[in-house]
């Protein structure tokens, strides 16, 4: 038995919460530290977990680490849907339509056919107007504004603790020194809950900081970069499938339904862009593309006109996907804290694939944690 079962998780997005839950289930005492808790805080550009449209469409290459993480995560989602009626995740058909018969993304077909057992190519009679090629498979759609609170509640129910860092975290190591940021313990609803004073001597730290990994003094990962995305939240409870449209000019539109009846509509991938506000021309483009390709997102009596003014837009959102050149970072290392060696496990860099790889990443991070701690016990 390991003497010290305390683990700190830094970051409270979907990967931080999923990893913290798996660590609790493995028998560790877990404390989360984060500046932002997307489950309970207002939506912000830094909290990409919350504004995201989350479904499961494999990004990984065949045989890659990301593919393994995605497969395991899909299995977990499907099991949750089957066993937990409260989980804000639902299965839906996903359709991918391409305007051009020689679109570059067709190179993904073999991978998708191998990944999804029910994958099939659509007949010409099943294609919407203007589309040359279509494919379909079963996916899961995550209602993000409900799912993150669901994870946080599950974390607290398992006995976890959470602290908001009220001043900037300079480094992972600083949590263990008198240079640590000002902290406020929080409860499941975000209120202050000063019931526990943590002992700042953990067995390990798990780094789920996403874009923050660029700035932490003892990480400084220059491979981490933002991919900006704008989304619209549209009220359209009659929309059932998840759909991605690939246009001949390279533009993309996607729509992802949520249990709430809202639909996330997007399709922008702006590498390195950190502009925090919606750009009117981008918003207009998102509206025009989705109405042209999928007029069914409009109320039935408004579809013939295909007028973007008839969209019931609930919110316009901007977020930064925490991407990493090369691959996700899932590996262990050692921090030197005033001469003491402390295990660190890194779990970040998922880009736009955070939800669809979260449970696989969490299991692997905790597996690394247990293996490394056992080797030094």
Which residue, among 208, 191, 150, 170, has the nearest Cα to 31 in the 3D structure?
Answer: 208
Helix (H/G/I), strand (E/B), else coil: 189 = coil
Residue 215 lies in a domain: yes
| pLDDT at residue number 1 | 43
Backbone angles phi, psi at 268, to 5 degrees: -110, 140
Residue 10, classed as helix, strand or coil, is: strand
Q: What is the per-residue pLDDT across 55-108, written as a single tens digit (0 to 9) for each?
A: 999 999 999 999 999 999 999 999 999 999 999 999 999 999 999 999 999 999
**Which segments are annotated as binding site for FAD?**
209
Give residue-wise pLDDT tens across range 287-313.
Answer: 999 999 999 999 999 999 999 999 999
Which tokens in the block code for residue 356? 């669809």
Q: To 10 degrees, the CA torsion angle through 84, 85, 90, 91?
A: 70
The total number of structural domains in the chain stands at: 1
What is the C-alpha to C-alpha distance for residues 1 and 309, in angstroms, rounded to an integer?
Answer: 63
In 10 A of CB 171, how many CB atoms? 18
Point out the annotated binding site: 209, 246, 321, 352
pLDDT greater than 60 at residue 49: no
Provide the pLDDT for residue 185: 92
Q: Determine what percent of the chain falls in helix, strand and coil, rounding each to the nearest 5.
A: 30, 30, 40
Query: What separation, in Å, do the N-terminal and C-terminal C-alpha atoms of the chain show?
Result: 8
* 123 has pLDDT over 80: yes
Alpha helices in 158-256 (DSSP H): none
Residue 184 lies in a domain: yes
Can you tell me whether residue 281 is helix, strand or coil?
Answer: helix
Query: What is the rounded distance in angstroms from the CA atom of residue 14 to the CA atom of residue 19?
Result: 8
CATH label of the domain that carries residue 216: 3.30.9.10
Angle value at C-alpha 193, between 191 and 195, nearest 5 degrees: 170
110 in any annotated domain: yes
Helices 144-157, 14-25: axis angle to 10 degrees equals 30
Structure-token pair, residue 46 = 């830094």
Predicted confidence (pLDDT) per residue in 137-189, tens digit? 999 999 999 999 999 999 999 999 999 999 999 999 999 999 999 999 998 76
Residue 196 confidence (pLDDT): 65
Binding-site residue positions for D-dopa = 246, 321, 352
User: What is the C-alpha separation between 202 and 218, in angstroms, rounded?
Assistant: 17
Distance CA 321, CA 323 (A): 6
Distance between CA 376 and CA 286 in Å, rounded?
53
Q: How far, in Å, CA of 38 to CA of 47, rounded?
A: 6
More confident site: 177 or 44: 177
Query: Cα dist. 311→263, 308, 318, 340 in Å?
Result: 11, 6, 19, 58
In this structure, are residues 227 and 210 in contact, taking their beta carbons and an 8 Å threshold? no
Interaxial angle between packed helices 14-25 and 354-376, expressed in degrees from 0 to 180 and rounded to the nearest 10: 40
Q: What's the rounded Cα separation, in Å, for the pair 73 and 55?
A: 11
Does residue 1 lie in a domain region?
Answer: no
pLDDT at 337 over 70: yes
Domain that holds residue 39: 6-376
Q: Whole-angstrom Cα distance, residue 317 to residue 315?
A: 6
Give the mean pLDDT of the chain. 94
Residue 129 · residue 295 · CB < 8 Å: no
- CA–CA dist 303, 281 (Å, integer): 23
């Amino acid at each position: 038995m390991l003497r010290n079962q305390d683990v700190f998780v830094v970051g409270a997005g979907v990967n931080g919460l999923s990893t913290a839950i798996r660590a609790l289930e493995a028998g560790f005492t877990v404390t989360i530290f984060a500046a932002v808790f997307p489950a309970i805080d207002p939506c912000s550009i830094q909290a990409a977990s919350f504004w995201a449209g989350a479904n499961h469409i494999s990004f990984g290459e065949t045989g890659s680490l990301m593919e393994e993480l995605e497969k395991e995560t899909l299995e977990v989602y499907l099991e949750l849907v089957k066993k937990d009626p409260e989980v804000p995740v639902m299965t839906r058909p996903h359709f991918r339509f391409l305007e051009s018969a020689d679109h570059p993304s067709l190179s993904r077909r073999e991978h998708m056919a191998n990944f999804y057992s029910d994958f099939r190519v659509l007949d010409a009679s099943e294609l919407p107007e203007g589309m040359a090629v279509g494919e379909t498979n079963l996916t899961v759609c995550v209602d993000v504004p409900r799912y993150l609170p669901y994870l946080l509640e599950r974390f607290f129910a398992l006995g976890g603790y959470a602290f908001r860092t009220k001043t900037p975290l300079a480094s992972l190591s600083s949590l263990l020194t008198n240079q640590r940021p000002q902290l406020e313990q929080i409860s499941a609803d975000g209120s202050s809950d000063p019931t526990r004073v943590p002992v700042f001597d953990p067995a390990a730290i798990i780094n789920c900081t996403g874009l923050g990994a660029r700035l932490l003094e003892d990480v400084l990962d220059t491979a981490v970069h933002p991919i900006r995305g704008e989304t619209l939240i549209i009220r359209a409870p009659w929309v059932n499938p998840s759909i991605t449209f690939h246009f001949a000019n390279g533009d993309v539109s996607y729509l992802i339904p949520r249990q709430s009846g809202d639909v996330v509509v997007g399709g922008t991938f702006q590498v390195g862009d950190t502009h925090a506000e919606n750009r009117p021309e981008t918003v207009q483009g998102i509206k025009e593309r989705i109405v042209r390709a999928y007029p069914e997102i409009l109320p039935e009596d408004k579809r013939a006109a295909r007028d973007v003014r008839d969209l019931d837009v609930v919110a316009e959102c901007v977020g930064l996907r925490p991407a990493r050149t090369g691959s996700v970072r899932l590996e262990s290392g050692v921090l030197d804290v005033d001469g003491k060696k402390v295990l660190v496990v890194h779990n970040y860099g998922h880009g736009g694939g955070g939800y669809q790889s979260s449970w696989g990443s969490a299991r692997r991070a905790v597996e690394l944690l247990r293996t490394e701690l056992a080797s030094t016990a």
